[in-house]
Amino acid sequence: MMQNMEVEQEILDGFHLFWDNFPFPVMLNNKDRMIVDCNKAGRALGYAPGTYCYEQGGKEMHKGCLAGKAMKRQSAVRKIGTIDALGMVVDSYWIPLPGREDLYVHFGIDITEYVQNNQPEPVCLKSQAC
């Protein structure tokens, strides 16, 4: 593995077990926002271990990043926001791994069709102030 990416194989195996069939890109990142690994959907879009998550897409896609907040709190953080350049509404999550203060899972779900069809917004996590 690359420098700064020393992660136990057990964690990587668990990540793939739970996230490889998820239909949206999911990244396992370190605290510096380096992609340690990603699921199949992420790889299909060109996400690559050893690169930084903020290198994916344009700056606008990252202006609402809450990775720092999630890592400081060591609890999941959620944000629903619009990416105007893509015409999408995205429900995004940053979830620190328990027992590993240097790793978090990050993904965003395209909920544009639900918002456009006036569906109610998803319910917030109990730990979130909505």
Domain extents in the chain: 9-116
Residue 16 amino acid letter = H
What is the chain's mean pLDDT, rounded?
88
Closest CA to 22 of 108, 123, 122, 97: 108
pLDDT tens, residue by residue, 21-74? 999 999 999 999 999 999 999 999 999 999 999 988 777 778 889 999 999 999
End-to-end CA, the chain: 39
Q: Is the pTM of this model over 0.85?
A: no
CA-nearest of 34, 106, 103 to 65 is 106
Is pLDDT of 85 > 90?
A: no
Residue 101 reports pLDDT greater than 70: yes
Architecture of domain 9-116: 2-Layer Sandwich (3.30)
Stretch (H or E) spanning 64 = none
CA distances from 93 to 7, 31, 82 (A): 21, 15, 14
